[in-house]
Amino acid sequence: MYTDLKDQLTAELAEIEQAGTFKHERIISTPQSGRITAAPMGRGGTEVLNFCANNYLGLADHPDLVAAAKKALDDRGFGMASVRFICGTQDLHLQLEREVSAFLGTEETILFSSCFDANGAVFEPLFGKDDAIISDALNHASLIDGIRLSKAARYRYRNADLEDLRAQLEATRAQNDGAGARRTIIVTDGVFSMDGYLAPLPGICDLADEYGALVMVDDSHAVGFMGATGAGTPEHFGVSERVDIYTGTFGKALGGASGGYVSARAEIVAMLRQKGRPYLFSNSLAPAIVAATLTALELVAGSAELRTKLFDNAELFRRRMSEEDFELLPGEHAIVPVMFGDAALAGKVADAMLDNGVFVTAFSYPVVPQGKARIRVQLSAAHTEADVEAAVQAFVASRAAVQG
């Protein structure tokens, strides 16, 4: 039996390789940090600066988080060996749920193994065939998959385009024989990760009010550092109260291990505890992760220092790269796309960057539009000013090396 499939897969894998879209992994042999030792498969490791992690606040190897995780290993053991509703809930899990709610200013929070699972859980129990889900065209894959699991009518609007969002809201009125959708929700990423652009939340909330729709924001690329207290893009835009459902990850700024959440109005969370399938049928977060994430939230709530450092680094990088005549997408986020247009050129520059001691990744079609190939740089509070300047110098040298 397997012989046929083996041949087919071998051919398909060869096609991916030929198309230049095969994902090769680089092996890191140090903790995730601003400086890592990384190697392509089979080659020796070299120390490089890391400018492509979601480690925005530099917490991935922070000593306080590591200590909290070690203490939890001693006090609460390694694993829960259960889903939450059978015997997988420790006091720590409830404490983290309370702390996330307090941090975001929401009523209740429910934990998941990942934000991918949170987005997979949230739609199916709340939205059925009489309902409408309106999704930004550039939303994260996990939102797209989660929405597919529900029986609701699906609508899509052009990225961050409020006119098109209005048109989709209008279209929901035809549902249910012209009675309109029973429940309507607008779903958006808080930050679009390929561009570093923020969703236009004030306009989205205004339209939601006008049409009686709910608003959901997946703030994975913002929670912990956007907004005055780090509560994310809704806080940044002053619309925190107007967002009904937040999802996010602990796997980026907040320590970078794993875990995600839905944080929302009380009844919404109560229903997800009863019916959210990834909650009911997948294991509890490990206590060490829960404890370290609590420490991450404490650090973020206790001081703006890391957020300030992150944005200072982003601003410095944007300024210096502009001075060196690189084309950047404008913005304020710590994601800074350096535009090359041509896919092969972006790939060659990224390879040269590694030779120049800086780890970055090139993205091209179909991940970004045709002709918009780029190197996506991500700043971190773990970087020093000297690290940022070294990255700029590496870009200058790599461009010169590739263009000859």
Ligand X SMILES: *Cc1c(COP(=O)(O)O)cnc(C)c1O
Going by their DSSP bridges, the two strands 132-136 and 153-157 should be labelled as: parallel
CB closer to ligand X, 211 vs 225: 225
Closest CA to 327 of 282, 373, 281: 373
312 appears as a binding residue in the annotation: no
- For the annotated catalytic residues, the residue numbers are 193, 221, 252
Nearest distance from C-beta of residue 249 to ligand X, angstroms: 3
Residue with smaller CB distance to ligand X, 53 or 299: 53
Q: Which is nearer to ligand X, 218 or 387 (CB)?
A: 218
Q: In whole angstroms, what is the distance from residue 240 CA to residue 237 CA?
A: 8
Contact indicator for 346, 340 with CB cutoff of 8 Å? yes
| Residue 219 CB, nearest approach to ligand X (Å) | 8
Bridge partners (DSSP) of residue 374 are 339, 363
For ligand X, the closer CB: 244 or 387: 244
**Is the Cβ of residue 134 or residue 392 nearer to ligand X in the bound state?**
134
Alpha carbon distance 385, 317 (integer Å)? 9
Closest C-alpha to 267, from 106, 29, 73, 105: 106
Work out the angle at residue 236's Cα, subtended by the Cα atoms of residues 235 and 242, and round it to the nearest 5 degrees: 45
283 is in an annotated binding site: yes
398 is in an annotated binding site: no
**Token output for 307:** 């957020």
Question: Was 282 annotated as part of a binding site?
Answer: yes
**Closest separation in Å from C-beta 346 to ligand X:** 21
State in angstroms the smallest separation of the CB of 143 from ligand X: 7
Q: In whole angstroms, how close is the CB of 216 to ligand X at the nearest point?
A: 12
- State the residues that interact with ligand X by CB under 6 A: 114-116, 140, 142, 189, 193, 218, 220-221, 249, 251, 260
Q: How far is the CB of 118 from ligand X (least distance, A)?
A: 8
342 is in an annotated binding site: no
- 134 in Cβ contact with 172 (< 8 Å): yes
- 140 marked as binding residue: yes
Q: What is the distance between the alpha carbons of residues 191 and 199, in angstroms, rounded to a whole number?
A: 6
Annotated binding residue 220: yes
Which residue lies nearer to ligand X by CB, 253 or 388?
A: 253
249 is in an annotated binding site: yes
CB of residue 393 to ligand X, shortest distance in Å: 30
Amino acid at 356: N
Does 24 belong to an annotated binding site? no
Q: Residue with structure tokens 């259960």?
A: 82
* Among 191, 183, 226, 179, residue whose Cα is nearest residue 208: 183
Select 90 or 142, whichever has its Cβ closest to ligand X: 142
Asked if 390 contacts 325 with a C-beta cutoff of 8 angstroms, the reply is no
Q: Binding-site residues, please?
A: 115-116, 140, 193, 218-221, 249-252, 282-283, 376
Q: Binding-site residues for substrate, please?
A: 140, 376
Q: Binding-site residues for pyridoxal 5'-phosphate, please?
A: 115-116, 193, 218-221, 249-252, 282-283
